[in-house]
């Protein structure tokens, strides 16, 4: 018969707000206790653990990760604790100290962070400016990071809503001729934004936010006449916005709002005679205070390794034609 040896361990809680760490009425501590058999006792700034060695060591790691998350995001909720438990239990690293300043958002799967030099510049630009442009090829994380910035701001209470916008160029921005109701008409054009949101928020919470209008996903044509206050506004695929649409979008921003505009100027689907508002805006706003531009290249590609090779192949082909 195998003898299970119990151990005792002390974990010192240093450089952390104990009330926020443990949660209201110790809800974060209770979340931890519900998951494990180890006896967890908190006295002052010390945690006493008594249980099976492997579990005690795992809980010690989880507590340290909880402290990191709290100190970097300013908040720690039971959902965050559950995420940390899952990731740590699977042997995944929730946070790397060297990259801690580049973390945008914690999700159930991992921490979303800026990795490449241009992504780090993007991160810093978003912190500094109220309007940010992210321009570069597919797969560089422009849109995904933009959505993560917005979700993080919503979770922290910095903004009250998120508005995600895309031009529906393939439908000529005139959606009436398409079959189905409004949602069915626009779904194909807005699906990439919804996919990103699904990775960052529990599906029930996402649906609730959409139903209450806390998160809106709308075509660019439906932005005219609006003023967006206390909002995080993202325009994706902005290379397909006309010059007039770009001006219209940028002037929707109200008090306490931020905006990110992403696009790839090599993939413009506008009619041949129409100028892309994303190309024009570089010349108009590049020296305006509070507006930032970040440019990505193939070295920032974070999708499948073949995406970078495909971009290389097209660049070579176009250079030969020139």
Chain segment 243-302, per-residue pLDDT in tens: 999 999 999 999 999 999 999 988 887 876 678 889 999 889 988 999 999 999 888 876
**Mean pLDDT of all residues in the chain?**
82
Which comes out higher in pLDDT, residue 210 or 193? 210
**Whole-structure pTM value:** 0.67
Pinpoint the alpha helices (H) of 131-219: 142-155, 182-200, 203-211
CATH fold, domain 114-321, is Rossmann fold (3.40.50)
Which residue spans of the chain are classified as CATH 3.40.50.300?
Answer: 114-321
The mean-pLDDT minimum among 27-36, 194-203, 228-237 falls in 194-203
Place of tokens 């928020």: 201
**pLDDT at residue number 129:** 95
End-to-end CA gap in the chain: 77
Place of tokens 């974990």: 11
Biggest CA-to-CA distance, the chain: 81
Which residue spans of the chain are classified as CATH 3.30.1370.10?
Answer: 6-95
Q: Is the dihedral of CA 179, 185, 191, 192 positive or negative?
A: positive
| For residues 100-129, average pLDDT | 83
Q: What is the CATH number of domain 6-95?
A: 3.30.1370.10
């Amino acid at each position: 018969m195998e003898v299970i040896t119990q151990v005792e361990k002390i974990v010192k809680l240093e450089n952390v707000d104990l009330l926020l760490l443990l949660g209201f009425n110790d809800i974060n501590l209770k979340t931890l206790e519900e998951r494990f058999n180890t006896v967890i006792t908190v006295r002052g700034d010390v945690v006493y653990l008594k249980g099976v060695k492997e579990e005690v060591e795992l809980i010690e790691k989880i507590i340290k990760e909880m402290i990191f998350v709290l100190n970097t995001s300013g908040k720690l909720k039971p959902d965050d604790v559950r995420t940390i438990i899952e990731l740590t239990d699977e042997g995944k690293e929730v946070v790397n100290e060297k990259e801690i300043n580049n973390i945008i958002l914690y999700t159930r799967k991992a921490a979303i962070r800026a990795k490449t030099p241009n992504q780090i510049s993007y991160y810093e630009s978003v912190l500094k400016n109220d309007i940010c442009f992210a321009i570069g090829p597919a797969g560089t994380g422009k849109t995904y990071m933009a959505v993560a910035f917005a979700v993080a701001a919503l979770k922290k209470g910095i903004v009250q809503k998120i508005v995600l916008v895309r031009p529906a160029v393939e439908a000529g921005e005139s959606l009436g001729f398409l079959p189905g109701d409004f949602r069915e008409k626009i779904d194909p054009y807005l699906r990439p934004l919804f996919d990103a949101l699904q990775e960052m928020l529990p599906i029930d919470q996402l649906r609730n936010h959409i139903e209450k209008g806390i998160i809106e996903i709308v075509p660019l044509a439906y932005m005219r006449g609006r003023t967006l206050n206390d909002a995080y506004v993202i325009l994706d695929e902005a290379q397909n916005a006309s010059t007039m649409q770009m001006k219209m979008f940028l002037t929707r921003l109200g008090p306490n709002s931020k905006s990110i505009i992403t696009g790839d100027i090599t993939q413009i689907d506008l009619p041949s005679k129409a100028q892309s508002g994303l190309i024009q805006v570089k010349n108009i706003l590049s020296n305006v205070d509070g507006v930032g531009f970040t440019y990505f290249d193939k070295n920032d590609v974070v999708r499948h390794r073949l995406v970078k090779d495909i971009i290389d192949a097209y660049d070579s082909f176009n250079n030969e034609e020139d």
